[in-house]
Chain A
Amino acid sequence: MNRKSLLSILLGLLVIFALALAACGGTTTTQEEPAVVEEPTVAEPAVEEPAATEEPAAEEPAATEEPAATEEPAAEEPAAETEADPNALPRNETLYNNGQQWGAVVGWNPYSNSNNNAMAIAQQDNARVIMFETPYLYNMLDGQVYPLLADGPYEWNDARTELTFKIKPAAHWNDGTPVTAEDVAYTWATHIKYNTPTGAANIDFIEDIVAVDAQTVTIKAKLNEDGAAVNPLLVAAYVSTNYVIQKAWTETLEERVAGDATALLADTAEDVAYSGPYGKYFADDSKVIYVRDDNYWGQDASMWGKLPVPKYLAHTIFKDNAAGTTALQAGEVDVSQQFNANVQDLWLVDGLPISTYLPDAPYGIGASLPTAFFNLNSPGLDQVAVRKAIAMAVDYPTIIANAMTNQSATFDQVPRSLMNPTAGEQATYDHEAVADLQWVGNDIDGANAMLDEAGIVDTDGDGIREYNGENLSYIALCPNGWSDWQAAIEVVAAAGEKIGIEITTNFPEWSVYQTVVTKSDAPLPEDYDIFMMWSDGAGPTQPWGRIRKLMSSEFIGMASNWNGNWGQYSNPDADALINAIPGMTDPAALNEAYTELVRIYLTDVPSFTLMYRPQSFHTVNESVWTNFPHDGDGTEPPVPPLNLTDGWSIAGLYNLELVNP
């Protein structure tokens, strides 16, 4: 830290000095200006030259190494490095990202959720696995999990109470010691002992994780009164969601923090051991860089058979989307996971070598369903007719065209249900059975007729319908600054006017909004009538997990509800189905259950989907790298468009090629 601040001081002084020189030259007139503007024209070749001259030098070993990856590539690499400027990343060995990391990296601690280290640490359905690894990788495109640290598929015992898998013999940590079943068990024990977020999230479903022998791990599910697993679905999800952390390092950490849970979670863990292909290279307020571990175990034939192609993964920290898009245009970003409004202009208008997973709208694969929740306690909104009428009248094509700039499938293409547009989820319910319930929007006549039929009409002639003598007047909300949601909520409000319901908008600050919306132990306040929140994306427990969070009444009563059902909807039939699904294995029965849930959801309308949103946006610039995942790229299993860091999408890192090798 000290050296860094000294450097900043020196830098500051230098800059001031340089400016003082500039200023002295220009005090008398403003002639100085053109002189300074000219400088960069000189600068550009100067800056680029070293990079250009070093290209061949740095590249050659990389090229020779790739086919011979199973041999010993490590020896060759350092030799090349001594020639290059150690402070500049060679462009054709570095993959640049944007849109994941906003603000400086805080730490490297896989036990904590507060690292703000988006590229390396995210234990979720599509876990980021460049540094820490999960036993299995989830692939959102086919809904399957593939072994990473694990050796072969996992197995349930007959009662579905114990799940067993093996660790690959080749797997080892960056310090060379093998990854063992004991590491997996100790990771769990630590989560529980220090009540980490992961521990707290799983303790209701997992009894214990034990090492049977050095390679074999058994996860014991928590059992209910009947002796069956409480939730086998969530137990199975654990193996593709959570990292395996080294036992030896964990013990060092415990010693350092002397058993204090808060200190353990706040530790920045600069010394952490990891099993993944990349580790920390550099991080400051402007960027974070990960460097490949050329000793990575995954080059063993039992896994990838080679090393991932880029030597460095870098993420520049931008302060807003616009800056990120500008860098993408300039070729300073290869993989962009941020929302680039009107992304098609980048190739249609600017003619840049930029593309998305799909060549045309919606450009990506929708995975989550941004949803408008009804406050079911608001007068009038307790009536199904009012809720459904509003949902039917909304102009979804305008939401998709304007708020999402067409980066969402339309409800004509993917009829509304509880499932996301991926093929796997769409197949889980019977489309025919609920077809007459799936509205596409803009149905003003239908909405008006529905309200008239329910006897909710305008009796006093002010143009607004009444229910129980009171005007139907609502406030629609979403957090301030969440631009696409705000634009969507504006469109929702516009629909009200056409069906005699007054809807105004309000955009509170997120810090206020979140505390109100997540407080589920009391009815929502009156001025939160229709409000937007998210729903789950793609993952190994989906679509069950999403449905649970949209409809299950189990979250009512939580003081801090970060799961869902924020409108506090309660339906015993839905609850029963949601509870039954994790234990079900018969596909036909599952299909029936899901179809019934969709039917309930589209009939009761406790909330409604406004658009489809990708798991993560995925736009690539092919100036340097090519062969990114795209629709029809021939990969088997297909590599999902998730920025080559999360879940199975990391397979894409092994397929990259240079445009100009």
Chain B
Amino acid sequence: MKGYRRYFANKLIWFFITLVVAFILNFTLPRLMPGDPVAAIVSRMAQGMSNATGVQAIYEQYTELFGINRPIHEQFFIYVSNALRGDFGYSISQYPRTVADVIRSSIFWTIGLQLPAIIVGWILGNALGALAAYRRGTFDRVLLPASLFVSSIPAFGMAVILLVIFGVSLQWLPTSGGYGYDLIPNLSWNFIWSVIVHYQLPFWTLVLITIGGQAIGMRSMSIYELNADYVKYSRFMGIKDNQIVRYVFRNAMLPQITGLALALGTMVFGAVVAEVVFSYPGLGSTILTASLGQDYPLLSATTLIISIMVLVANFSIEIIYGFLDPRIKAAQAD
């Protein structure tokens, strides 16, 4: 048990160090970009204003409000003390909305889209990969390359193709929005059905581009395991095939789970594309507009959320690993 404790303590320390550094970077990186975000607000205010003093006054007022005239370390400490109280300040691009409000109103759409899509894509991909490994033959020769080809289509290409086929040509599915254009959110069947229908195109876009990569990985891992000594030994011992297959796939699955955790972080782009092409409400396009509009507060907060999500997923996987994989215990015993 001592080995475990050291393992966890070690992981935990690194977890916190990474979190702190990620926090600092999330704060700093956006602020290193060139350009002047307050000018964007001023431009909105000052259209058609023809006296210099008025514009200048507005400019100074908002520079003060966002505190970007202070030295960056001072800004940082203000940011930290506010962030600890859960206050991420005003969004610059959507001022006077607060960052918290912007995120609150869109994050559930993103999570509701991303998480199931990753999980379904992961499950389908792994099932396909495992079957390809176990069945070989046509499955391996046809279905696997086919899924590989589908996954080679870039995310925006997939989104556009699905949009054109199912949305524009066949008109089976709605092309934009999170729910019907004529509805107001409520808990009626009509509305829920509308949400489900609007969900399909962005969802399958994300699932389809995930499957192939997962399938390839799972196939390789499964074949490794199928040829491992313990399988041969088990066969030799006369253990039933079904039983062996279950062992094999459980072992092959372990590294794939790590992949799942890391996929959370890399899905951002898929989210941006799916949300923009299908005008789906959510955080992905918010991040994009925030980075193009230099909305520091919003950008820092959203990237922080992603960082924490990835970090927590990573950390939990490693902890679970520690329990499941005897090899890690062995390594710690060194």
Contact = CB atoms under 8 A, between A and B. Distances in A.
> Are A and B in direct contact (Cβ within 8 Å)?
yes
Interface of A: 1, 4-5, 7-12, 14-16, 18-20, 22-23, 26-30, 33, 36-37, 39-41, 43-44, 46-47, 50-51, 85, 87-89, 91, 94, 96, 103-104, 106-107, 112-114, 116, 124, 195, 197, 200-201, 203-204, 261-262, 265-268, 282, 284-287, 289, 314, 316-320, 322-323, 326-327, 329-330, 332, 481, 509-512, 514-515, 518, 554-555, 557-563
Contact of B112 (A12, A41, A327): A12
B1 to A, nearest CB: 36
B196 A1 contact: no
Contacts of A9: 108
B270 to A, nearest CB: 15
Contact of A41 (B172, B185, B199): B172
A94 B191 CA distance: 18
B50 interface: yes
Given A30-B124, A319-B276, A12 B175 contact: no
Among the interface residues A89, A511, A515, A518, which one has the most CB atoms of the partner chain B within 10 A?
A: A511
B293 to A, nearest CB: 6
B197 A558 contact: no
A509 B51 CA distance: 26
Contacts of A5: 104-105, 108
A104 B94 CA distance: 8
A606 B94 CA distance: 36
B51 A323 contact: no
A26 B124 contact: yes
B43 A286 contact: no
20 contacts: A1-B101, A8-B105, A23-B123, A26-B124, A47-B180, A91-B182, A114-B96, A197-B45, A197-B49, A201-B49, A285-B105, A314-B182, A318-B176, A320-B277, A515-B39, A518-B39, A518-B43, A559-B55, A560-B52, A562-B42
Given A16-B115, A562-B55, A88 B182 contact: yes
Given A46-B193, A113-B45, 20 more contacts: A12-B108, A14-B195, A30-B124, A37-B172, A40-B197, A89-B184, A104-B105, A112-B96, A197-B49, A200-B54, A287-B177, A314-B181, A314-B182, A319-B280, A322-B277, A326-B168, A510-B292, A511-B37, A555-B50, A560-B42
B128 to A, nearest CB: 7
A251 B281 CA distance: 37
Contact of B94 (A1, A30, A51, A116): A116
B61 interface: yes
A12 B195 CA distance: 10
Contact of B108 (A8, A33, A87): A8
Nearest to A320: B276
A107 B57 CA distance: 23
A39 B46 contact: no
Contact of B124 (A27, A316, A481): A27
A563 B65 CA distance: 25
A116 B41 CA distance: 11
B206 to A, nearest CB: 12
A7 B105 CA distance: 10
Contacts of B37: 511
Contacts of B95: 106, 114, 266
B34 interface: yes
Contact of A40 (B58, B61, B172): B172
Nearest to A24: B123
A563 B54 CA distance: 13
A511 B47 CA distance: 16
Given A30-B128, A40-B197, A113-B45, A560 B59 contact: yes
A44 B196 CA distance: 12
B22 interface: no
B44 interface: yes
A85 B188 contact: yes
A266 to B, nearest CB: 4
B186 interface: yes
A649 B137 CA distance: 69
A89 B172 contact: no
A12 B46 CA distance: 40
Given A18-B196, A30-B124, A201 B176 contact: no
Contact of A107 (B59, B96, B203): B96
Contacts of A314: 181-182
B36 A316 contact: no
Interface in B259-282: 275-281
Contacts of A12: 108-109, 111-112
Interface in B131-188: 163, 166-168, 171-173, 175-188
A532 to B, nearest CB: 16
B120 interface: yes
B48 interface: yes
Nearest to B285: A319
Contacts of B128: 30
Interface of B: 34-37, 39-59, 61, 65, 94-97, 101-102, 104-106, 108-109, 111-113, 115-116, 119-120, 123-124, 127-128, 163, 166-168, 171-173, 175-188, 190-197, 199-200, 203-204, 275-281, 285, 289, 292-294
A1 B103 CA distance: 12
Contact of A511 (B113, B181, B197, B292): B292
B35 A262 contact: no
A87 B186 contact: yes
A314 B166 CA distance: 26
B58 A323 contact: no
A103 B61 contact: no
A330 B112 contact: no
Contacts of B191: 87
A558 B96 contact: no
A289 B184 contact: yes
Contacts of B177: 286-287, 316
A560 B57 CA distance: 11
A47 B197 CA distance: 10
Given A11-B195, A88-B190, A266-B96, A514 B45 contact: no
Contacts of B127: 27-29
A50 B189 CA distance: 12
A319 B59 contact: no
Given A197-B46, A284-B105, A330-B175, A39 B197 contact: yes
Contacts of A8: 105, 108-109
A186 to B, nearest CB: 21
A103 B94 contact: yes
A2 B299 CA distance: 23
Contacts of B279: 317-320, 323
B178 A40 contact: no
Contacts of A323: 175-176, 277-279
A19 B203 contact: yes
A36 B177 CA distance: 19
Contacts of B46: 197, 560, 562
B97 to A, nearest CB: 5
Contact of A11 (B51, B96, B112, B183): B112
B45 to A, nearest CB: 5
A284 B196 contact: no
B54 A562 contact: no
B82 to A, nearest CB: 17
A85 B193 CA distance: 15
Given A15-B195, A512-B34, A37 B276 contact: no
